[in-house]
A and B are shown apart, each in its own frame.
Chain A
Amino acid sequence: MAERPAGEPAAPGAPAETLVRVEEVVKHFPARLGATVRAVDGVSFHIARGECLGLVGESGCGKSTLGRVTAQLLSPTSGKVYFKDVDLTRLRGERLRRQRRDFQMIFQDPYASLDPRMTVGDIVAEPLDNFGLVRGRVRNERVQELLRIVGLNPNFNNRYPHEFSGGQRQRIGIARALSVQPSLVVCDEPISALDVSIQGQIINLLQDLQRQFNLTYLFIAHDLAVVRHISDRVMVMYLGKVVEVAASRAIYSDPRHPYTAALLSAIPVPDPKTERMRRLVRLEGEIPSPIDPPSGCRFHTRCPIAQVPGVCSQVEPPLQELAPGHWSACHFADRVVEVAPWARAPDGARRPAPA
């Protein structure tokens, strides 16, 4: 066993068994003129069995790439992905294919991720067929059971995707992912293409299924409110790096990275009173290019508390454990409270949420 990598907090109250361990994963893509897009640039984390780890960040932060590397849909440029102590990055061919049964993925676009020429029954059964798990009558029974589990009429198995709404298609995608009884499900923005009233249905369904089948989720989304709601722990990414990891509760009440504080302060809350008290953490400029990320701390060009020129533009801050299970990569993690007034009053006493 390798030693515990940075950014692997012992989740409070979580079962000790680690299902997935990602170590120093780097994923670079070639860009024009020999340049390199550093989509994921040295990320380590773990997910305990039965846990939901949320992964949040804005467009281009590398969260989807990291999800795909974790699910082995992309192989990393360097680094390791362990699944129950098996190094997936060393598996090839048939052994990797066999192992894939354990991790499935749910995609954002319920329109693009289902083959329009296949019946719903065949879509849901495709992973079963791929792994040659069941045939004939048992296969059909299994498909109908899966449709029932995700809240669809089991007799719809002969219909085609176009006959279903976005929310129903997402249910079909979920049934497909669950068909081979995976341990890990990587959900990549599973609700962002759906209408508000349907989002709630799908979130509730994912939570019910997690409980029912003891699933482990890596839940990727840009919406920190949704991520906090469903996750046990939340991991925040910025420009290919993890900047903060904490229990879902602490990430709001005690953010230790100024980028997390900025994200939290920017999310509209459906409550006019809270909105009137909003104090936006204003970020300077635009997100820099992942082809040529800033020196030192990658966030220093936009950070409201950065020391520039100084340590922030010169030294890359390591991800450090500041409290049990609470990791942050900031030279001035203790000053984040200055820009997150909802977190703690000046005397250090906790203040309730501005609600």
Chain B
Amino acid sequence: MSQPVLEVSNLHTQFFTDDGVVQAVNGVSFELHEGESLGIVGESGCGKSMTALSIMGLVPEPGRVTAGEIRFRGHDLLRMRAEDVRDLRGRDIAMIFQDPLSSLNPVLKNGFQIEEAMLAHRHAARRETRERAVGLLRKVRVPAAEARARDYPHQLSGGMRQRTMIAMGLANDPAILIADEPTTALDVTVQAQILELLRDLNRDLHTAIVMITHNLGVVAGLCSRVIVMYAGQIVEQGPVDEIFEHPQHPYTWALLRSVPRVDAMRHERLRSIEGLPPDLIRPPAGCRFHPRCPFRVDRCFNDEPPLDRVGDGHVAACWVTMDRAYGEMGAAELLDVRPGAASGVRLPAERAGG
């Protein structure tokens, strides 16, 4: 396997609010390899965006990174001089956001904004940057790129704006492109084209992509590896085929069954996840998912499960895991998804003791 270009270890990001300390990111560790495409999935407030903003040094007030390391090619961004970090962010690590209209300057022409991204990191003649900006717009498949470069952001459609953002992100040939819900605000046919573009850029330019999304389908189509987050922590991580076919964490399992598939031939009842995500000021003891988990056992209430190996390159943080839930708790037949619904099933004595 190739060298990791990014190593995040034991990242903690907290928000110091009047109500208490919000543990937005709680001990997140992962690696990103050169040219890889990694998905980070989870719901609002799970910490996926805050993980990305921590990497970019963009955590908003009153939050800050309180512990951990973020190594880019071996150098810890959290311990580098501010100007060195600034130089690296935007050049080697670029980020694009959900809403391109609020990320683009409305009074600057599209082409110039791409040029600005280049000029922030190196000196170059305007003539050269102008040509390169148009070239980048062509690369992200903006039709009539030269004319569009002279337009202002409001003159573009949502899809074209997101392409312009991607062109800005690529302005300095970054090693990593972090995309935070880049297609969520777009129509589905436009989304498909943007995802196709990201897939091609990842392959042709060898830019590593971190795709942050709530949409499992987006991850399945774009990423080779996926991290599932819940309540500020990684609950499962592994190759996409493994995770989608044999999810081991009950949260991942339920998430996959709580969305209808467009190609479904039979419409089975969705296995929704009952309850709400926890309050991150006072997260539940033990496994943070236990208040909503149909498969919980006694141990889940007080004992926090570590990320353990459950397959090839596949880890999950669960005392039960779905293999056992299928075997001993009848997960396949489980229709009652209320918390603890399957925990009445008796585990073999030697395991139940933990």
Contacts and interface: CB of A to CB of B under 8 A. Distances in A.
B240 A228 contact: no
A187 to B, nearest CB: 15
A286 B273 contact: no
Of B244, B259, B267, the most chain A CB neighbours within 10 A belong to B259
Interface stretch (B76-84, B191-199, B294-302): B191-199
A268 B214 contact: no
Contacts of B254: 197
A355 B263 contact: yes
B195 A262 contact: no
A82 to B, nearest CB: 30
Contact of A229 (B216, B241, B260): B260
Contacts of A352: 265
Interface residues of B, number: 46
Contacts of B256: 270
Interface string A284-296: 0111000000000
Interface stretch (B53-61, B97-105, B217-225): B217-225
A275 B274 CA distance: 29
B147 interface: no
B107 interface: no
A347 interface: no
Contacts of B66: none
Contact of B262 (A59, A195, A224, A285): A224
B259 to A, nearest CB: 6
A268 B215 contact: yes
A7 interface: no
B272 A200 contact: yes
Query: What class of interface size applies to chain A in its complex with B?
Result: 35 or more
A288 B230 CA distance: 41
Contacts of A165: 276
B265 A225 contact: no
A229 B261 CA distance: 8
Contact of B159 (A167, A225, A286): A286
A271 B189 contact: no
A59 B267 contact: no
B189 A283 contact: yes
A95 B263 CA distance: 45
B188 interface: yes
B270 interface: yes
Nearest to A249: B265
Given A197-B43, A273-B241, A268 B274 contact: no
B260 A222 contact: no
Nearest to B158: A59
Nearest to B218: A268
A226 B258 CA distance: 11
B220 A275 contact: yes
B346 interface: no
Contact of B261 (A195, A253, A270): A270
A51 B151 CA distance: 48
Nearest to A195: B43
Contacts of A283: 189
Given A263-B188, A270-B220, A272-B241, A197 B272 contact: yes
Contact of B192 (A230, A248, A266): A266
B90 to A, nearest CB: 29
A6 interface: no
Interface of A: 58-59, 165, 167-168, 195-201, 203-204, 207, 222-226, 228-230, 248-249, 252-253, 262-275, 278, 280, 282-283, 285-287, 342, 352-355
